[in-house]
Amino acid sequence: MLPARFAPVLFGFLLSGIMSCIVTFVATIKNMGMSVDVFTAWLAAWSFGWPIAFCVVLVVGPFVRRLVARLVRDPIE
């Protein structure tokens, strides 16, 4: 188990991995159709895109959290 202080990084790692997996898969199928080489092309796109997505999540995440905090009301106590 990882210490709790790593939770935001782990969250970003998993979220970026899952999202980039789905998005690159859909985009690859849209561009290539269900061909024989679609899995290889998707894996190449995903392995290229995931590190970029992870960095974006780490950099943009704090800004988005602040933006969301400004856009929602505090719960009524």
- Residues 30-65: pLDDT tens digits? 999 999 999 999 999 999 999 999 999 999 999 999
pLDDT in tens, 13-31: 999 999 999 999 999 999 9
Query: What is the pLDDT confidence band of residue 8, given thresholds at 50, 70 and 90?
Result: very high
Which residues, 6+ apart, have CB-to-CB distance to 30 below 8 Å?
A: none
Query: What is the pLDDT confidence band of residue 74, given thresholds at 50, 70 and 90?
Result: confident
Query: Any idea where the domains of the chain sit in the sequence?
Result: 36-66
Does 77 score more than 80 pLDDT? Answer: no
Give the tokens for residue 35: 């061909």
Long-range contacts of 12-20 (CB under 8 A, 24+ apart): 12/54, 12/57, 12/58, 12/61, 13/54, 15/57, 16/50, 16/53, 16/54, 16/56, 16/57, 17/50, 17/53, 17/54, 19/53, 20/46, 20/49, 20/50, 20/52, 20/53
pTM: 0.82
- What average pLDDT score do residues 67-72 get? 94
